[in-house]
Amino acid sequence: MAGDVRYLYRMKPVTDQSERVVPATASAIWRWIEPVENLPRWFPIAQRSELVSGSGRGRIQRMYSEWAGKPVEIDQQVIHYDPPNLLGWKHVRELMNGKPAPQLSVETRVTIRLEPVASGTRVTIVSEHVPGNALKALVIRLVARPRIRRILDQAVGNLAALPA
């Protein structure tokens, strides 16, 4: 019961998104976004990525990155998996310098939606961060958000530049 009460007072997510129509089919784009090993080819903060376990919905994948000049390791669980239209994950573990990362967000989710349109595929990438409290929400909005927006814009641009 106590766990349920905690979510009644959860902060509103800080949400950012970027989208672009890419002149390729959803299936062609899916071949780039689905294998976790491809993440560094299109997601700008991913330096390296690997499959930890599973496949499809429930898969655990790990992304290695850098934030504030420090090495970061993020385990992600795939929560949306609808080929070739929808892929999404949430962060389930974040380490910085090998230690638990500071928790600004109680939940972080990334969703990639592929929607066929006449001129190709509309690619929409959404990032949602549920802040731990009002102060953390302010830090996310003022400090992290500009970088998150640049990352999302660059990610859709990278997908548009990949060979179909």
Domain assignment of residue 30, yes or no? yes
Number of domains in the chain: 1
**Is 50 a residue whose pLDDT tops 50?**
yes
Tally of CB atoms within 10 A around 100: 9
Tally of CB atoms within 10 A around 3: 6
Q: What is the pTM of this model?
A: 0.89
What is the arithmetic mean of pLDDT over 120-145?
Answer: 92
Domain assignment of residue 6, yes or no? no
pLDDT > 90 fraction of the chain, expressed in percent and rounded: 75
Q: How confident is the model at residue 6 (pLDDT cuts 50, 70, 90)?
A: very low
- Specify the higher pLDDT residue, 85 or 138: 85
Mean pLDDT over each residue of the chain, to the nearest integer: 91
- Round to whole Å and give the CA distance between 48 and 115: 27
Domain assignment of residue 2, yes or no? no
Domain span including residue 133: 13-161
Q: Residue 64 maps to which CATH number? A: 3.30.530.20
Angle between helices 145-161 and 26-33 (to 10 degrees): 120
